[in-house]
Structure 1
Amino acid sequence: MTTTASGSTDTGTAETGARRGFEEIDILWISEGMSCDGDTVSMTASGQPAIEDIVQGLIPGLPKVNLHNKVLSPTLGGESFLAPFRAAARGDLGPFILVIEGSVPNQNIIDGEGYWTSFGNDPETGEPLTLNWWIDRLAPRAWAVVAAGTCATFGGIHAMAGNPTGCMGLADYLGWDFRSQGALPIVNVPGCPIQPENFMETLTWLLYHAAGSAPPPPLDRNLRPQWLFGKTVHEGCDRAAYYEQADFAKDYNSPKCQVRVGCWGPVVNCNVPKRGWMSGVGGCPNVGGICIGCTMPGFPDAFMPFMDEPSGGSLSATLIKPYGAVMRRLRGITNYALNREPKWHHNGPELTSGYNPRWRP
């Protein structure tokens, strides 16, 4: 039995712990990837659950959670903040969940000295420690590894064509067949930024799994939570009926389907139209914004220019036009008929409702 830096005890291997459950676990969150820290900021907006509820132990059945995130840290920063990260790199802290925010640059393409991004300094030399250095040491020791946001999952904006950094997603860096100490693949939660509840719901599932009271979260072939990204934007969009009727918006002020003005919703895996953004309110198509595919591995290159009609959009809109025109007309006729009251609603002397008490003699 070993005692961790956080004071918890590990009574065996990580696999044994996953089976029996942990009573305490650390979350080491590094946002020094190529990013804007928007995923951390977005995550704080979650209410179901809130990160505060998890850290304060208000959710039954979860292990005690020690969160180490630079934006939310109660420390003064510096070495005090870095202490658990250094302990984990030495193998003195466990179990822990490693969360990476931001894309991973390719340090191998730098010819000579220099670095793309760093997190703390080497105490012996004073030289910056690169993000890659930390990932190389922490990921193999982590009970679970989570990529937060599209930059960390698939490379995102920083990995687009023409970038000088050779950026990539965490699975590209570690390998798509990577398995953590908890025998888990990398868990990708994309979004630019992450939808708050999507991330916190996934983290909560992982924590219940760490506690030994839930199975591993089901992931799709791109390692995204299947229950969150198994359907398209279009399938949950309240504008989808306009598409079926070939009734398309011509500008961004229209409540109709926005496929002709740049929306990629019919082919993008995301649940934002159903879930909303904060407390069920908002979300790109819900407030008049087009879907630009930010939860997809091909983002942003495959979806640019963002405001142009998607490839295939013109063809699908043309094909559905005759069907939509007929359906709109037929539904209009039925709608007109159903908007009329029955003829026996009158104040005349005759009863014309068809009332006929046949059971009376």
Structure 2
Amino acid sequence: MDLYIQLCQDPQYGGRLASVVLPRLREFFADKDSRKPPVIWLETTGCSGNSVSLWNAIGPDLGQILEDMIDLRYWNFLMAAQDDRAIELLHNTAAGRKNRFILVVEGAIALNERYTVVHRRAGKDYSALEMVRFLGRSAQHVMAVGTCASFGGPSAAHPNPSRSVGLEEAINRKVIKASGCPAHPDWIIGTLGYILMFGEPELDEHGRPRIFYGETVHRRCTRRSFFERGIFAQSLGDPECMLRLGCKGPVTGADCPTRQWNSYVSWPVEANTPCIGCTNPGFPDQMEPFFEPLPERDEQTANPVNPCHLVKSRITRRGGRL
């Protein structure tokens, strides 16, 4: 377990996560003489951005994930079965593999059930809320992928006529969250691999794996030295710390600086864009305006404050939703 965590966190394995995860999964399944676990991936109120992100995985790629990691039973984004056959496969898996399948949800859950009908069966419409409650009762593990599924995200942004919320709030059971808008492929694959071999990973205060979300973006930012010396960018494109241009890195848990994006070649700050806090509870509303700095004074007392502590305390005080 410790070796798995160490390798997943090691930046030198960027692009080669398959060399870490897949051999161990093969050994695990062989030792346990067990089959790959059934997985139901349900899209609800979202944009499919996390599905696209996972499609862009390169180590392992999607083909390796399907061959070596999981037995994919339902994913409307990627499955051969259509129409009633696909829906029956979904319901039969939930009924026949109770407490033996993994439910992955992408997208927020609309409490207003006039929104997000995910399918129709025998003449009856099934809403996202109805399905996640039905599947959540039967799943061995429940995983939220992306910030919408984790905390509501953009789907729950003001004025939120659908009354969208994060998955955990909708089903009232513990959910392992891989937040991000979208989530990095490694966050999804690494979390899923850990669940398959060891069960629930160690989670932070927001229910996210500490493997990937245990440190802030600010901690390992490539511009951290400028922050320490009090040298700040004045406009986009300047090479210094972008805290005063609205960077939310000090209050955002993610390993983007070391893991990087787009086949491990860059990340937002390296592309001269401030971190917008997309993995956070309260994103996007409470991270906006994106290009205005975090508060430097308490709104009530006008006393100087550490902006990191101020924003983090608000997130924690309201149970992860600002």
TM-score computed with the length of structure 2 as normaliser: 0.78
Corresponding residue of 1:253? 237
Q: Answer yes or no: is the 8 Å Cα contact 2:176–2:200 preserved in 1.
A: no
| Aligned equivalent of 2:63 | 52
Range moving further from structure 2, 46-55 or 190-199: 46-55
Confirm whether residue 276 of structure 1 aligns to residue 260 of structure 2. Answer: yes
Distance 1:255 1:205, change over 3 A: same
**1:130-151: CA deviation from partner (whole Å, max 9, x where unpaired):** 1111112111111111101000
**1:195 maps to 2:184:** yes
| 1:74 Cα offset (Å) | 2.6
Structure 1 residues without counterparts, runs of 5 or longer:
1-19, 108-113, 179-184, 209-213, 319-361
Counterparts of 1:86 and 1:312, CA distance in 2 = 52
AA of the residue aligned to 2:169: D
Larger Rg: 1
Where 2:119 maps in the other structure, the secondary structure is strand
Provide the residue aligned with 2:96 in structure 1: 92
Pick closer, same or farther for the CA change 1:251–1:70 going to 2, 3 Å: same
Alignment-derived partner of residue 131 in structure 1: 128
1:166 maps to 2:170 = no
Say whether the 8 Å CA contact 1:102–1:152 is kept in structure 2.
yes
Aligned residues: 272
Unaligned runs of 5+ in 2: 1-31, 299-303, 308-322
Deviation track 1:56-76 (CA, whole Å, cap 9, x = no partner) reads 12xxxx5x523522222133x
Tell me: CA distance 1:119–1:21, structure 2 relative to 1, closer, same or farther (3 Å).
farther
Which residue of the other structure, out of 68, 72, 84, is the alignment partner of 1:66? 72
Deviation (angstroms), 1:316: 7.5
1:140 aligns with 2:144: no
Q: Tell me what 2:272 maps to.
A: 288
For 1:1-361, list aligned pairs within 5 A.
22-31=34-43, 33-57=44-68, 65-75=71-81, 77-89=82-94, 91-94=95-98, 95-107=100-112, 115-123=114-122, 126-175=123-172, 178=173, 185-208=174-197, 214-312=198-296
Residue pair 2:38, 2:102 contacting (<8 A) in 1 also: yes
**Local SS of the residue matching 1:23:** coil
**CA contact under 8 A between 2:73 and 2:93: conserved in structure 1?**
no
Please tell me whether the aligned partners of residues 195 and 277 of structure 1 are also in contact (alpha carbons under 8 angstroms).
yes
Q: Write the distance in 1 (CA, Å) between the matches of 2:103 and 2:215.
A: 27
CA offsets per residue over residues 300-351 of structure 1, 9 Å max, x none? 2221111112212996899xxxxxxxxxxxxxxxxxxxxxxxxxxxxxxxxx
C-alpha change, 1:271 and 1:216, in structure 2 (3 Å) is same
How many Å apart are 1:262 and its aligned residue? 0.9
Structure with the largest fraction of helix: 2
Identity among equivalent positions (%) equals 29
For residues 302 and 153 of structure 1, the distance between their equivalents in structure 2, rounded to whole angstroms, comes to 15
- Shift of residue 215 of structure 1? 4.9
Aligned to 1:147, the other structure's residue is in SS state strand
Query: What is the CA deviation profile of residues 203-260 of structure 1, one whole-angstrom value per residue up to 9, with x for unaligned ones?
Result: 111122xxxxx35311112110011111000112101111111111111111211111
Any idea what the Cα deviations from partners look like across 1:248-281, whole Å, max 9, x if unmatched? 1111111211111110111211111110013321
Assess if the C-alpha contact under 8 Å between 1:29 and 1:100 holds in 2. Answer: yes
Q: Deviations over 1:160-208 (max 9, x none)?
A: 2321111100111122xx2xxxxxx311000001111111111111122
What value does the CA root-mean-square deviation take over the aligned residues?
2.4
Specify the alignment match of 1:13 in structure 2.
Answer: none
Instruction: Provide the residue aligned with 2:11 in structure 1.
Output: none
Q: How many Å apart are 1:80 and its aligned residue?
A: 2.4
Q: TM-score, normalised by structure 1?
A: 0.70
